[in-house]
Amino acid sequence: MMRIPFHAAITGIGMVTPAGLTTDETWDSVLAGRPTAAADPALAGLPVELSCRAAEFDGDTVLGRRTAWRLDRCTQLALAAGWAAVADAGLDPGDWDGTRVGTILGTAFGGIGTWEREHRKLLELGAERISSLTVPMSLTNMMAGRLATDVKAGGPSFVTSSACASGATAIGTARELLRSGACDIVLAGGAESSLVHSVVAAFDRAGALSHYKDGPSKASRPFDTGRDGFVIAEASAVLVLERPEHAQARGARAYAYVSGYGASADAGHETRPDPEGLGAERAVCAALQDADSSPADVTHVNAHGTSTPLNDVAEGRMIRRVLGSHPVTSSVKGVTGHSLGAAGAVEAAITALSLKHQTVPMTAGLTHQDPAVDLDIVAGTSRPVTMETALSNSFGFGGQNAVLVLTRP
């Protein structure tokens, strides 16, 4: 069924990542290809002690201690990015009709850091030592609820959870709210802070993490022949999406438009991607159809590119089959690591910046491209590219696929 194209304007971006505490810092690090993987003292004693942590982020400093102490770090990251996005968009929550503003965020694990800490207290100190704030701090939906409270957004507010596609799913869902007329503005994105022993140990047992045999700087190397898994990360990114006429009426500039969204399920294995990327292909085709675009229109693909042996080949085959060899492809996870439920939001933000600056970031860590991935992958240095249309791919455990089409204003 044909749908009338709809272009949601991205008028604000806020980011907190291992590559920087602001959008500008993150963009500069991604362009320079500076890896952020490092030994993490909090993971000492595990078989994998490496992470990409936003080490310079301090919730007390950014949010104020009176606010931060009541929030899990995941929610702290979400609020920091959300506030930054609203400011970047030139919006004042005191002036808007909050009933027309939504908050849709994605995450995989939510407040699991609080849950693990309080569970340890239960085992070691007894039930009476559990914090009375454990439930609100650990609830997955709290990041969207707290952001809505802070910015007086009384429209739809909820969390999407589709594993590592969560952030992209949130942005696609937000666009649908704008398209339907339910909202004029939606704060959309994702946050994740699950650098805790239980999560890291579980991912390692699943065979998903890099054992960085060539050192931390080479641990995350998407599409490289030497890749052996991803580096787990924390991050947040929030986009201010607006109905185009709303943005135009207030004279707002747009970084880019979210012009298409497609989602699908592999309906296969719990953790392994379809080896030919057939489910991902359906999401790409749906997103292109939604945007009224063709494969020939796509100049750039911001790949999911996790640095795992299976994902990178499956995604590479799918891109080549559906789009051909012409799109300039890259993955930012060589710099940022894999922030799970936040990754799709971080990468959508980077894709919007790529369109704005007409530059495709390099794929850090890539020195020997896997011959099974027959694509034009940017390596060595970032590349100026004239582009109007780009894809941002996000795929997750459970066979969850979400693809966004972004276009230049």
- pLDDT (tens digit per residue) in 349-404: 999 999 999 999 999 999 999 999 999 999 999 999 999 999 999 999 988 999 99
Residue tagged active-site, from 7, 52, 74, 164: 164
Rounded (10°) angle between helices 309-323 and 278-290: 40
pLDDT tens column, 226-261: 999 999 999 999 999 999 999 999 999 999 999 999
DSSP conformation letters of 224-252: BTT---B-BB-EEEEEEEE-HHHHHHTT-
CB contact set of 316 (below 8 Å; sequence gap of 6+): 223, 303, 370, 372, 373, 374, 375
In this structure, the number of other CB atoms found within 10 A of the CB of residue 139 comes to 18
304 is catalytic: yes
Mean per-residue pLDDT for 271-286?
89
Cα 348 from Cα 14, distance rounded (Å)? 12
Percent of the chain residues topping a pLDDT of 90: 94
With 90 as the cut, is the pLDDT of residue 24 above it? Answer: yes
Q: How far apart are CA 63 and CA 114, in angstroms?
A: 18
Residue 186 DSSP SS3: strand
Query: What pLDDT score does 271 carry?
Result: 72
**Catalytic hit among 7, 246, 300, 338:** 338
pLDDT at 2: 61
| β 101-106/157-160 pair status | parallel
CB 187 within 8 A of CB 238: yes
Mean pLDDT of 96-113: 97
Between CA 287 and CA 350 the distance in angstroms is 18
CA distances to 39, 65, 288, 343, 349 from 237, in Å = 24, 22, 24, 8, 7
CA distance 162 to 160: 7
pLDDT band with cut points at 50, 70 and 90 for residue 1 = low
What per-residue confidence (pLDDT) applies to 213? 84
Cα distance between residue 319 and residue 401, in whole Å: 14
